[in-house]
Amino acid sequence: IAEIRLNDRFGIEPHLGQQLWDWAESLAMHSDDDDHLTCTYATPAHTTVAEQLMLWMDDCGFDEVGRDAVGNVVGVYHGTAAPADAQRLLTGSHYDTVRRAGRFDGRLGIFVPMLAVRELHRAGRRLPFGIEVVGFAEEEGQRFPATFLASSALTGGFDPAWLDQQDANGVSLRDAMRNAGLPGKVAAITGLTRDRSRYLGFVEVHIEQGPVLDSLDLPLGIVTSINGSRRYTGEIIGLASHAGTTPMGQRRDAAAGVAELILFAEQRAASTPDVVATVGMLEVPSGSINVIPGRCRFSLDLRATTDAARDALDVDVHHQLDAICQRRGLTYQLKPTMAASAAPSDPEWQARWEAAVTTLGLPVHRLPSGAGHDAMKIHELLPQAMLFVRGGNGGISHNPLESVTVDDAELAVRAFEALLARCH
C-alpha cells in the first residue's frame, strides 16, 4: 500500500494530508527554543502556538474557538440540533511536546478533526451532533511533573496541589499560568469538568510512535488498549569522597547504585512480555571528575499492558533498589509523579474505527499503545478509542526524525470522516 500513491489507488489528491503536513511544519517553525514547545505556559512564543491553532480553527469554520483556564485550545463545530442540548463528539490530542521533539506527536490528532470540520463547513454541512476538538496542553509533563495535566481538567481530576509544583527554575505552575495570561485559579479550572451526558464519546488520532505499522506497510491501525504506567523521580544518596584515595571496597558511590538499578530494570523488562522500563533522566548534581558521586538523581518510567503487570514490575524495581542500597551502604528517595491505569478501548468506538478503515479499502490491524495519551485520562470520563497513523523511519518518535507521509495523513482524515458518518 505504501508504494501505491493515493491518487493511483483511490483517485484522490491528498490535499487534506498536504494541509496537515504544512500546519505541522509551520508550528515546528515556531520552535525557536526547546522550552516553549515543551510547555504550554513557558513563553509568549508558546502562546503563539496556541493562538496559531485558534486562528486555524477560525479559518476552518468552527462556531466557537477559545483557550481555557489550563491552556487547552478548544474549537466547537455545532450540529443541527440547538447547541444547548446537542450531544457532542469529543476529540483531539495534545499540542505540547517533549524536548527535541518531532512535529506530529499530539498535533496530528488536533489537525485531523480540524480538517474534517473544515470539509463539513466548506460543504455547508452540519451533523446531528456537535464536534468539540481540544488541543490539550501539558500532556507530556516536561516542565512540571504532572502529566495529562490539562486533560485532567476535563475529567475533574485536576489536583489543585499541582498549582504549587515548581519547574527547574523554581517557577510555580500557578505563576507560569499567570505569565501566560491564564487565571491560575482552582475555581476557573474545576469549572472545566465536562458533563459526560453531553458527549457521545472521545476519539484520538495519534502517530503510532512505534515500528509496527511501518513494518507491516500499513498506514492506519486500531488501538486496542493504552498501556498503564507509573513514573517516579528519585535520588540515591551515598558519600562524596576522593576518587584517588578511597579504596574501591570502601566507596558509597551513588551513581554506581543507580547504574545497577538501570541494568536491573532493563533486564527485568526485557525478560517480561509487554512490559517496558526506562530511566530517561540521570544526573550527578555538582559532580566532579575526581569526586565519587555522593548523590545521583534519576527518573523511572514503568509501563505494561495491564495494571497487574505494571505493579509487579514496580514491586520488583523497589525490591532491587532496597537490595542495592543495603549492599552499598546507600539510601534513596523515590517520589511518585504519575500513575495511569491501562485504558482498554471502548468496543463500540473501536468497531467504528474498524468500519471506517474498512471503508477506505484498508485492512484492519489492531495493536496496543505503548505510549500514553490524553485518551487514557479522558477514559475516566467517556468511552474512548484511538486510531494510529504510521510513522516513517521505523516509527521513531520523541525525536526530530519523527515523520508521517502526506498520503497517510490524508487517509487519517478520511478515516475520521468515515467515523463521523458512523456516529449517528
Among 69, 150, 371, 412, binds ligand HGY (CB under 6 A): 371
Identity (one letter) of the amino acid at 317? V
- Give least dist CB 371 to Mn ion, A: 6
- Give least dist CB 383 to Mn ion, A: 18
Residue of closest CB approach to Mn ion: 373
| Window 80-109: contact mask with Mn ion (x via CB under 5 A) | -------------------------xx---
Residues 372-391 touching ligand HGY, rule: CB under 6 A, are: 372
Give me 352's grid cell. 467504528
Query: 373 or 379: whose CB is closer to Mn ion?
Result: 373
Burial code (b: 16+ CB inside 10 Å, e: under 16) for 208-243 equals bbbebbbeeebbbbbbbbbbbbbbbebbbbbbbbee
Among 132, 138, 139, 407, binds ligand HGY (CB under 6 A): 139
Residues 365-404 touching Mn ion, rule: CB under 5 A, are: 373
Among 68, 96, 138, 140, binds ligand HGY (CB under 6 A): 140
- Give least dist CB 18 to ligand HGY, A: 26
Dist CA 347 CA 386 (whole Å): 11
Answer yes or no: are the C-beta atoms of 211 and 395 closer than 8 Å.
yes
Dist CA 243 CA 316 (whole Å): 32
Query: 371 or 418: whose CB is closer to ligand HGY?
Result: 371
CA-wise closest residue to 92 among 145, 138, 35, 151: 151
Answer yes or no: are the C-beta atoms of 409 and 206 closer than 8 Å.
no
Identity (one letter) of the amino acid at 259? A
The continuous run of DSSP H or E covering 51 comes out as helix 44-60
Residue 68 in contact with ligand HGY, rule: CB under 6 A: no
- Give least dist CB 371 to ligand HGY, A: 4
| DSSP bridge partners of 291 | 242
The dihedral built from the CA positions of residue 254, 257, 261 and 263, taken in this order, carries a sign that is positive
Query: 252 or 373: whose CB is closer to Mn ion?
Result: 373
Give me 418's grid cell. 468515515
The continuous run of DSSP H or E covering 27 comes out as helix 15-29
- Give least dist CB 237 to ligand HGY, A: 28
Answer yes or no: are the C-beta atoms of 6 and 410 closer than 8 Å.
yes
Query: 140 or 417: whose CB is closer to ligand HGY?
Result: 140
167 touches, from ligand HGY, Mn ion, none (C-beta below 5 to 8 Å by class): none
Kindly list the residues in this chain that would bind Mn ion in the complex (CB under 5 A).
Answer: 105-106, 139, 373
Kindly list the residues in this chain that would bind ligand HGY in the complex (CB under 6 A).
Answer: 139-140, 371-372
